[in-house]
Chains A and B, each alone.
Chain A
Amino acid sequence: MSTLNAAQRSIVKKPANTSVFLEGPAGSGKTTAGIARLQHLLNAGVTGSSILILVPQRTLGAPYADALRNPGLPPGGLPSLLTVGGLAQRMVELFWPLAAEAAGFAYPNQPPIFLTMETAQYYMARLVQPMLEEGAFDGVTIERNRLFSQILDNLNKAAVVGFPYTEIGPRLKSAWSGEPTQLRIYEDAQACATRFREYCLAHNLLDFSLQLDVFRQYLWPNASCHTYLLETFQHLIYDNIEEDTPVAHDLVQDWLPHLRSALLIYDSEAGYRSFLGADPQSAYALKEHCQEHAAFARSLVSSVEIQSLTASLGQYLVHGIESPGEIDPRPAIAYEYQRFYPEMLDWVAQQIAALVHEEELPPGEIVVLAPFLSDALRFALVNRLEALGVPARSHRPSRSLREEPAVQCLLTLAMLAHPEWGFQPTRFDVTYALMQAISGLDLVRAQLLADIAYTIHQGQPTLSSFSQIIPDTQDRITYRMGERYEHLRAWLLDYQHNPQAADLDHFFSLLFGEVLSQPGFGFHASYDAGQVTANLVESIQKFRWVAGAGLAQAGIPLGKEYIDMVQKGVIAAQYIQSWQLQAEDAVLLAPAYTFLLGNRPASVQFWLDVGSRSWAERLFQPLTHPHVLSRHWQPGVTWGDADEVEANQQVLHHLATGLLRRCRQQVYLGLSELGEQGYEQRGPLLHTYQRVLQGLVNQFEQGEG
């Protein structure tokens, strides 16, 4: 408490029967006040279990989760830290019998199956595939998995905004003003959404949208559930409400009069998740339902120069004018123009190395941000930093499982052990699998071996014995390698002929334990490979939990289906939480939004690709539209050029100021004339910086000479 300022203390000390609406920009100490308030309530004798901490997304709850782990907390039940989606799921689970029938589920007497984003994609893929083959979505070039996720996204938008999912297509169509072919695409998107919802109802499956719909329509109005919630939770701390959805706000608005105390925390410049349905307007409307209002204005994070820069950029982006404040922010900005992209990366890496090695800034205090982080950029920069002795980490949520070489090796071996599944790995797959599985086998010999030993026999993949190879070639491969190969082959063959053959997860555990982790084999003493195997096993187990029963009924081997889905990219690494263990004190490379939603400040930020248009552009999503599917969209109005421009301007404003609010000291701008793709870079962020700098030159250098 002693480290809090007066404004924060006044929030914390509010009586335990008040509802407070607290607003302020990022970095002004709101969440710190929220946590102190939580501790204050607990210390004042409020039962932990009667406190609900609500956040829009799990990462935003991290500071509270840390605080709850504090051993100094008074004994008693722990507060609940949830998202509205989590709350909905918990209620559906508890009160399932009250809602299942009314909501239209085919088997109200059987338990519900909750789908994750991934498993929902899996079912979506299965349902949409036949439609694709009939020509649905012809004319739109989009990666399959993005197609599935956009249809799910539409369902989620309908749920979080609160309109019937049957209106998705009609809404999108009515706002469209371009090529008429797009209208058919929207119709297809609607048809898929409908088909998916019907399938879920018929099979007791609940994706996020259905969980929320069931909760909102059948449980919240239900007296038992309602009373249960009102009795359980009497105190609410609701942070980052601007990142939450209209339906969440509706719920809290209903709830507020019944709560003993509430603290709602609103970041006045954010709303980054608007592409996921976040609605700062409906969040702000909660203000009038709170008894007391408070506002923090002063940044506790940024230096005065950064604050001045934030103000200048903000002014320019909102009003189109440069009106610098009294403090010259230029010492907080560093930049250098390069012509080519890799030159810019060199410069960035050198600056970082200088900060770390010469100024002894901890690497964890440095973040490198770009609007879009291609894998090539990630790789190129991490390599450069490593060469300069700087640890770096990067968050890659959408990395496909099949891209992990060890996973690919395991899957290929699984295909070889299960020839009846009908997979035919290519010669390259087998070469690379052998090269990884057998310690000391180089690429040239691995290919030689695969060329000779690997055949497709009657449609089934087969490995022939080393002893059948002519001596001259055996000699080339070497007998030592041949021996190891033979051991692996024999094991696979044994497994194949073992009538007790178990499921795929079991297969991988055995393969790893009995062969690959042994001396002479590729996963021996490799912590990483062991981790990958363990993760893969876990992923299959989760898959079985959702899809196992259905597949067994259909007579499809689970392992076969799993491999198929991984190959198609439907199952990605999202399954896996701790995919890569990464050093904490390392330079973070992240897309700008990921960093924002992580909500942790850094001392120094590097902004790459400042000239890119993507800073101000929403991702092109041919099947959905965040604005048209929001609560503020007037039906029948078309989305035109002016709307697009205004939306982009707003995106840029929120993004730029949001980043600066999370910056303590210094911003480095990576500027290359030609972008990653070789096009000249002239995006609006670059333009804004130039204008602001020009204004600064005019203000601070006039009269100096």
Chain B
Amino acid sequence: MPVLRPAQEEIMDYPGGRMGISAVPGSGKTWTLSLLAADLIYRGVLKEDQEILIVTLVNSAVDNFYQRISGFVKSSGLLPNIGYRVRTLHGLAHDIVRERPALLGLENNFQIIDDREADFLRSDIAQAWLNSHPDVLDEYFDPEVDESRREWLRREQLPKLIKDIATSFIGHAKDRQLHPDQLKTVLQNLPLPLPLAQMGWEMYANYQRALAYRGAVDFDDLIRLALQALDSDAGLLDRLRRQWPYILEDEAQDSSWLQEQILRTLAGPDGNWVRVGDPNQAIYETFTTANPVYLRNFMSEPGVIRRQLPNSGRSTYSIIRLANYLVEWTQHEHPTSAVRDALQSPPSIEPTPLDDPQPNPPDELSYIHLSLRKFSPAEEVQAIVKSLEQWLPEHNDSTVAVLAPRNQRAFDLVDELRKRQIPYHDGMLRSSSSTRFSAGSLANLLRYLADPQSSSKLATAYKVWRRSDRAEEAAKARLEQNVELLRKIGRVEDFIWPGPQADWLEESGLAQADPETYAQLIEFRQLVRRWQSAILLPVDQIVLTISQDLLSEPPELAIAHKLAVLLRRASTDHPGWHLPELAGELAVIARNERRFLGFSEDDSGFDPDKHRGKVVVATMHKAKGLEWDRVYLMSVNNYDFPSGFIKDVFMSEKRYIRDHLNLEAETLAQLDAALTTNEYEWYQEGQETQHARLEYIRERLRLLYVGITRAKKELIVTWNTGRQGEMQPAVPLVALEAFQGGFEGGDA
């Protein structure tokens, strides 16, 4: 067994039952939980066929757990992959539902649509709702807004707002396990109408209908149905309880009520359930159903063993001190006293003990710069880029990230980095590209095969084939030139299948003028001919044939294989479909079903060390769990980090809505009101908007805390005045700067 810190020793002494562990950033939650799993296996607590169930938040963590546990298990001389199962909550729910789908009215091979596809659906539904109820939201417009502007708002702004409302409404209704039918009954029997709840219900009903039509469930349904299966089938529940006598849960602060309920049910009243989390890092809950309160409540339940993981070897002492100060300041000095519970201690972050295998970086390497200088948004970007320009050449072996509160700010920075030709990595700003890439490429090729006379589709096919050329400037130029060349072919047959009279390639003169292009085009022609003759095969075989020519990476080939199977199913279901329909289906599939696939890079986790000498640009949310030598936090102003002052502007309160109402929050409040059994609790307009403000302020404080604790040695924080020039530095930033100044005697 590796050397353990005293706090870790205490956790390893786990005697069974319920245990809650509060951890701090960088304290090795995953490592400790993995070790605990391995230790339990080693102790021999498992009977035949039993497994330790490890539940975590995201796919990348799943891999991480597997690797670590199998490392520990192997070092104890046991076979890996036996005795434990790592799942995200959605993966676990999928496992449970998959046990007996028929009982839940699902087919064996039911489909799961991912968030992105679900979002498309909700957009459509929101738009349709708006079209049929164009005036329902009128009473919420700010009276100052005139009719012509209202018209514009209905067209440009309301669809997005209504979709957001639908999203949170549906999520919350599912979290409460409410079926649209039940909700309908509730709403019909109200003494007073609740128009927003009514709107939410209508969209929810339409959304479920759209899912049923596709024979699909969404991620929330998966959780809901899993719990339903456990509740309704005692035999299944007994079996699963036997199978998983120990449940270890990571990132428990981001659990929703329903998710917690699944684990609670699986663990049973006397079960073994260990929950690890850092409530200070709960940053997913705004309008989602996640809430750190559930973890906090769990910790205070009777019989729960409480443990801490306070030591972190990640950051220098100065950075730790700054992060701890943010907690302390929030608890005691935050100007809005209602949010002083946003950050909790104990535990505070403590450095690792002497002789620890993960010593903290020496403090002399520390550099903290909290800038209160007033920048416009553009100036802020310039300042950061300039700083990077100076720093990067001398730190090619270091890791650095710029973290923004929102995607848009991050993209602004990426634009500037590109202009200045500073190496950067912006992959974290985009969703998994690998799947879509390969499915999209195949779709493009199918589109060409469906229309083989089209020179522009042929050119696109060529672009797909030579896609790696895009990475390098010279090759890229040639690629573009050749694409143009192909696009202009008048008669495609004269290139692909030339006759004795007309041979486009020979007549082009490329053989002499550009032998390399000539050779490429000959190769391309061979491929196209082969693909064309594959066209009589069933679609799965077309796809496999093409992908063997086009792809070489195992994950890409694996996706292609899966796509082949899916397309085959689609073509069996729709015997009349030809290539254009199938290409369209491919585009739909491309957006789908990604969360369970181990196919994309971001599933195997982001590793900052692989991007040394490059600027990683990401949002603070996405940076959770990661660390860099140097970290820039940008846009730390009162818009992204409000504190409850009069001047603060809240993103969720639209300027065109009267009384600063947050309609998303008000809709949820109406849902709550409709469901309440307490006759003294009734919906009061505006109350929930205030609540939502406080929740938002809390979440943003934690987000700042997460941002700060990403830095190992160096931290730079800046703010900007916003587009209108009216924003202020965030209050916590000012407080931190004052605190830091006390140590340094002024701006560094």
On A, residues with C-beta under 8 Å from B are 139, 141-143, 177-179, 181-182, 320-321, 339-343, 374-376, 379-380, 383, 402-403, 405, 408, 426, 428, 432, 435-436, 442-445, 447-448, 451, 476, 478, 567-569, 613, 620, 622, 640-642, 644-645, 673-674, 676-680, 682, 687, 690-691, 693-694, 697
Contact = CB atoms under 8 A, between A and B. Distances in A.
A373 to B, nearest CB: 12
B491 A691 contact: no
Nearest to A428: B578
Given A342-B561, A476-B493, 19 more contacts: A139-B105, A178-B102, A182-B105, A342-B557, A376-B543, A379-B540, A405-B537, A443-B452, A443-B535, A444-B452, A640-B233, A641-B100, A641-B233, A677-B562, A678-B559, A678-B562, A678-B596, A678-B598, A691-B48
Given A376-B540, A641-B235, A678-B597, A178 B559 contact: no
A342 B558 contact: yes
Contacts of A343: 554, 558
A320 B243 CA distance: 14
10 contacts: A139-B105, A141-B215, A143-B572, A179-B103, A375-B538, A376-B561, A379-B540, A379-B541, A444-B453, A640-B233
- Rank and list the top 9 A-B pairs by shortest CB-CB distance, nearest first: A641-B235, A620-B108, A178-B103, A340-B558, A405-B536, A179-B105, A678-B597, A444-B493, A442-B497
B511 interface: no
B100 A644 contact: yes
Contacts of A687: 49
B428 interface: no
Given A177-B103, A178-B103, A143 B573 contact: yes
Interface in B548-596: 548, 554-555, 557-559, 561-562, 564-565, 568, 572-573, 575-576, 578-579, 593, 596
Contacts of B103: 177-179
B562 A676 contact: yes
Interface in B23-77: 48-49
Nearest to A177: B103
Nearest to A680: B598
Interface stretch (B78-86, B144-152, B179-187, B633-641): B78-86
B538 A448 contact: no
Given A341-B561, A620-B108, A640-B235, A674 B497 contact: no
B496 interface: yes
B540 A375 contact: yes
B242 to A, nearest CB: 11
B674 to A, nearest CB: 27
B558 A376 contact: no
B680 to A, nearest CB: 38
Contact of B565 (A376, A403, A451, A682): A376
Contacts of B572: 143
Contacts of A673: 598
A432 B101 CA distance: 41
A253 to B, nearest CB: 36
Nearest to B240: A641
B532 A376 contact: no
B191 to A, nearest CB: 33
Given A380-B561, A567-B575, A620-B108, A432 B536 contact: yes
Given A179-B105, A181-B105, A444-B497, A320 B48 contact: yes
A435 B346 CA distance: 76
Contacts of A320: 48-49
A340 B555 contact: yes
Nearest to B598: A674
Interface of B: 48-49, 79, 81-82, 85, 91, 98-105, 107-108, 215, 233, 235-236, 239, 449-453, 491-493, 496-497, 499, 532-533, 535-538, 540-541, 543-544, 548, 554-555, 557-559, 561-562, 564-565, 568, 572-573, 575-576, 578-579, 593, 596-599
A405 B537 CA distance: 7
A403 B538 CA distance: 7
A466 B597 CA distance: 52
B105 A178 contact: yes
Contacts of B236: 641
Contacts, number: 156
B564 A376 contact: yes
B532 A443 contact: yes
Nearest to A443: B532
A601 to B, nearest CB: 31
Contact of A447 (B49, B452, B548, B593): B452
B596 A682 contact: no
A434 to B, nearest CB: 12
A641 B100 CA distance: 8
Nearest to A640: B235
A445 B558 contact: no
B562 A436 contact: no
A694 B596 contact: no
B81 A426 contact: no
Contacts of A435: 536
Given A179-B104, A620-B102, A687-B49, A339 B540 contact: no
A375 B568 contact: yes
B85 A694 contact: no
Contacts of A613: 98
Given A340-B558, A376-B568, A476 B491 contact: yes
A185 to B, nearest CB: 11
A640 B554 CA distance: 41
Nearest to B572: A143
Nearest to A619: B108
Nearest to B449: A443
Nearest to A690: B82
A644 B540 CA distance: 33
A320 B538 CA distance: 44
A582 B179 CA distance: 55
A682 B85 contact: yes
Contacts of B565: 374, 376, 676-677
Nearest to B490: A476
Contact of A444 (B91, B99, B492, B558): B492
B575 A569 contact: yes
A442 B532 contact: yes
A631 to B, nearest CB: 23
A690 B81 contact: yes
Contacts of B239: 641-642, 645
Among A181, A408, A436, A447, the one with the most B-chain Cβ atoms within 10 Å of its Cβ is A447
Contacts of A444: 452-453, 492-493, 496-497, 532
Given A320-B48, A376-B564, A448 B559 contact: no
Contacts of A321: 48
A340 B107 contact: no
Contacts of A674: 558, 597-599
Contacts of B561: 341-342, 376, 380, 676
Nearest to B107: A141
Contacts of B598: 339, 673-674, 678, 680
Contacts of B554: 339-340, 342-343
B490 to A, nearest CB: 10
Given A177-B103, A444-B496, A642-B235, A679 B541 contact: no
B346 to A, nearest CB: 38
Contacts of B48: 320-321, 691
A379 B546 CA distance: 13
Nearest to B531: A443
A47 B561 CA distance: 58
A46 B536 CA distance: 57
Contacts of B49: 320, 687, 691
B497 A445 contact: yes
Given A320-B49, A640-B235, A642-B235, A380 B79 contact: no
A376 B536 contact: no
Contacts of A432: 535-536
Nearest to A429: B578
B88 to A, nearest CB: 11
Nearest to A322: B48
